[in-house]
Structure 1
Amino acid sequence: MVTEIKLGLCNPPEPIYLHVRNGELNGESYLWYNYDNKNQITTPVTQTGLAGYISELKLTTKEFKGKDNIKLDIYVRADDIYVVRTGKETNFAKSFLLAVSLIQDFSKPLIIAATAGEGNVVFCNLYDAATKTRIRCEWNKDADWPAIIDSVQTKLQTSQNSHIVSGEPILF
């Protein structure tokens, strides 16, 4: 398969980071946003779903208010490379991990959808992109999160069209 490369002005091939938060800006509600660190500007993203191929899960440490916070980064290949970043202890991360643990074939596109809960809570719904069918899972607040991440990473490594880059050890 030959990939057509558009020539001319473009942006560098850096991932687009989508952060998860149930927020409001100028009277408009949003569930994801981009953050420009340089200019300290939050830009809400109005779409609540992201369709693409999950290619990697990674835990990263980010400093916030003088403390280290561990984030779950979900890498998605689509029209660009996206990284959905959320706190590892959030309802979004846990609902994503429970649903993604049921996926056997990562060579098919999925839709990751942010769904508002009560207050500032955000959950994740996962869908088969071809059939638009939601991948239903039972909530389990006591799930073995490191084992789920390890299992998903193993499936990602063996799935066609996927690539995993080893990151730091998975600790929950």
Structure 2
Amino acid sequence: MEVKLGFGAAPKPQYVFVSKESDHCWYMLSDNTRQIPIYETALTGVITGIEVNKKVETSYGDTEKTDLQILADKPYVIRSGSESYFSKSLLLSLDVLTSEQLRHPLTIAVSPGNSNVVFCSIYDPVTYRFIGVSWDGYREINWETLGQKVSLKINRIQNLNPDTIKVSPYTTASEIHAVLIAQSDTYLAQLNWTPEQGREYLQQKYGKRSRLELTDIEILDFIDYLKFQLT
């Protein structure tokens, strides 16, 4: 990104807020907190980080938000309620993306639903391919655990220490690891891998014979490998 010398605005991230209005689904705030509608439906950039279940003080009291950080023409932070359909569809989409895909620009789009609902859609801006997700069984999903899994994957790409990621007091590290193991079970079954094939690969790649011995970083890498084999 080109750096402009001289006087100008402070280089702070631009916050973008999600809300379904009559003719737009997100907006910015001016210096005097006036809402500035954003009529474009998509923002393209490189995802640089995510914070889930972030406690934020608002005029309505403390609430939990999801902040998605994107570097485009300037840094942006898309803020949405942690319990909103936008946040949930965002997490579902980010979960199916591989680490390699997350290293490249992506297009984040807003889609209005019924009532006050806004959904998030993600596209590959080069191929125009929509990143499809399934809402099957979404009521049974542990969203806090899924959020931590997605955070771990995205922040790992940015070379951040995963030990610094905040974990919900209701979600233990072992629960997150169990979710990752279960995710790999799904892909192993789809590939029809035998236990012997799995142990052989783990031994060659990581020097370990069981997924239980893998770190979270290693098992995320293993999941990305399995996803690649499926595609």
The TM-score bracket by the shorter chain reads 0.7 to 0.9
What is the deviation of 1:79? Answer: 1.1
Q: Is this contact kept in 2: 1:73–1:85, CA < 8 A?
A: yes
Contact 1:51–1:112 (CA under 8 A) maintained in structure 2: yes
Structure 1 residue ranges without an equivalent (≥5): none
**Cα displacement (A) at 1:167:** 5.8
Moved more, 87-96 or 4-13: 4-13
Structure with the larger RCO, 1 or 2 (CA within 8 Å, 6+ apart): 1
Of 104, 109, 116, the match for 2:112: 116
Counterparts of 2:159 and 2:9 in 1: how far apart (Å)? Answer: 23
Task: Indicate the larger mover: 11-20 or 140-149.
Answer: 140-149
Q: CA RMSD in A?
A: 2.1
- Aligned partner of 2:145 in structure 1 is 147
- Structure 2 stretches lacking a partner, 5+ long: 171-231
CA spacing shift, 1:153–1:91, aligned 2, 3 Å: same
Give 1:52 deviation, angstroms: 0.8
Shift of 1:33: 0.4
In structure 2, relative to structure 1, the CA distance for the partners of 1:164 and 1:78 (3 Å cut) is farther
Aligned residue identity for 1:94: K
| Alignment partners' CA distance in 2, 1:52 and 1:95 | 18
Residue 38 of structure 2 is matched in structure 1 by: 45
Looking at structure 2, the residues matched to 116 and 83 of structure 1 have their Cα atoms a distance apart, in angstroms, of: 20
CA shift at 1:129, angstroms? 1.9
Which is higher, the Rg of structure 1 or of structure 2?
Answer: 2
Q: Is the helix fraction higher in 1 or 2? A: 2
The percentage of counterpart residues that share the same residue type is 31
Tell me the secondary structure at the aligned position of residue 119 of structure 2: strand
1:39-118 → structure 2 map (5 Å cutoff): 39-59=32-52, 60-104=54-98, 105=100, 106-118=102-114
Q: TM-score under structure 1 normalisation?
A: 0.84
2:187 aligned partner: none
Worse overlay, 82-91 or 121-130:
121-130
Verify the 8 A CA contact 1:127 1:133 in the aligned structure 2. Answer: yes
Give the 3-state SS of the residue equivalent to 1:101 in structure 2: helix
TM-score (norm 2): 0.64
Q: Distance in 2 between matches of 1:87 and 1:167?
A: 19
Task: Tell me how far 1:40 sits from its aligned partner.
Answer: 3.1
Q: Secondary structure at the match of 2:80?
A: strand
Distance 1:4 1:15 in 2: 16
Counting strand residues as a fraction of each chain, which structure ranks higher?
Answer: 1
Distance 1:14 1:23, change over 3 A: same
Q: CA deviation at 1:170?
A: 3.8
- Number of aligned positions between the proteins: 163
CA distance in 1, matches of 2:169, 2:95: 17
The equivalent residue for 2:201 is none
Instruction: Report the Cα offset of residue 164 of structure 1.
Output: 4.7
**Could you tell me how far apart the structure 2 residues matched to 1:144 and 1:127 are?**
25
CA separation in 2, counterparts of 1:116 and 1:40?
A: 24
Name the residue aligned to 1:14.
12
Amino acid at match of 2:156: T
CA contact (8 A) 2:46 2:105 kept: yes
Q: Which residue in 1 is equivalent to 2:216?
A: none
- 2 CA distance for matches of 1:112 and 1:164? 23
> Does the CA-based 8 Å contact 2:152-2:165 persist in structure 1?
no
Q: Tell me the SS of whatever aligns to 1:141.
A: helix
